[in-house]
Amino acid sequence: MQVAVYGGSFNPPHVAHAMVAAWLRWTGTVDRVCFVPVYRHAFEGRHDKTLAPYPQRCGWCRAMAADLGEGFAVSEIEAELPVPSFTVDTLTALAARHPDRRFRLVVGADVLPQTDHWKDWARIRANFDPIVVGRVGFPLPEGQDIAFPGLSSTLLRDRLRGGESVQHLVTGRVAALLAAPGGNPWRA
């Protein structure tokens, strides 16, 4: 079984995350997509990486996975690993726990220029066959002609801070969680 490991802050998750995950399954690229919210971001405190509480982000991801249906799951493995979270360590831990599965990392084309700063990117490439997905505004990955929307969680946070609707930018269950009392951690 091939499993796409789709890590991220998911702060909050949005429809472009859902589109990428669905595309991976619909095209048969992988058998399963596993969302892995970072427990604590290696770059937290920089680049607007202050995170909503981990249980809340995991809940949003579970809601998005439920909206997508069968073949989508959430792993909370990063809560069990040393802080800060490094992708290579998460992938290695998943592979050790599930030796019957082949894990592949999902990254956006926008992230590729940053991989020189990642811990052990060469080992990730060698052992976890990254799936690079296109994103509007960045060069398309080799052999692809599809680019997913340039939507960002930063835009959602800005809208949520201002009391604006994000219903059209998240899946239905995520929208319900954000609209619930206490569901929007960015609203004063």
Q: pLDDT tens-digit profile of 92-138?
A: 999 999 999 999 999 999 998 999 999 999 999 999 999 999 999 99
Give the whole-angstrom CA distance, residue 7 versus residue 2. Answer: 16
pLDDT tens digits for range 20-75: 999 999 999 999 999 999 998 665 555 555 799 999 999 999 999 999 999 999 99
Q: What is the pLDDT of residue 90?
A: 96
Tokens of 165: 């609707």
Backbone angle region of 8, left / alpha / beta, with phi > 0 → left and psi within -120 to 50 → alpha: left
Q: Which residues pair with 105 in a beta bridge?
A: 5
> CA nearest 92: which of 68, 116, 123, 115?
123
Q: What is the pLDDT of residue 73?
A: 98
pLDDT greater than 80 at residue 79: yes
Range 162-181 average pLDDT: 96
Domain spans, the chain: 2-179
End-to-end CA distance of the chain: 44
Q: What is the pLDDT of residue 144?
A: 85
**Which residues, 6+ apart, have CB-to-CB distance to 62 below 8 Å?**
74
Q: What is the pLDDT of residue 42?
A: 61
Task: Say how many residues make up the chain.
Answer: 188
Sign of torsion over alpha carbons 76, 156, 134, 83: negative
- Homologous superfamily, domain 2-179: HUPs (3.40.50.620)
Q: What is the pLDDT of residue 49?
A: 59
Q: What is the pLDDT of residue 122?
A: 96
Q: What is the pLDDT of residue 50?
A: 76
Range 14-21 average pLDDT: 98
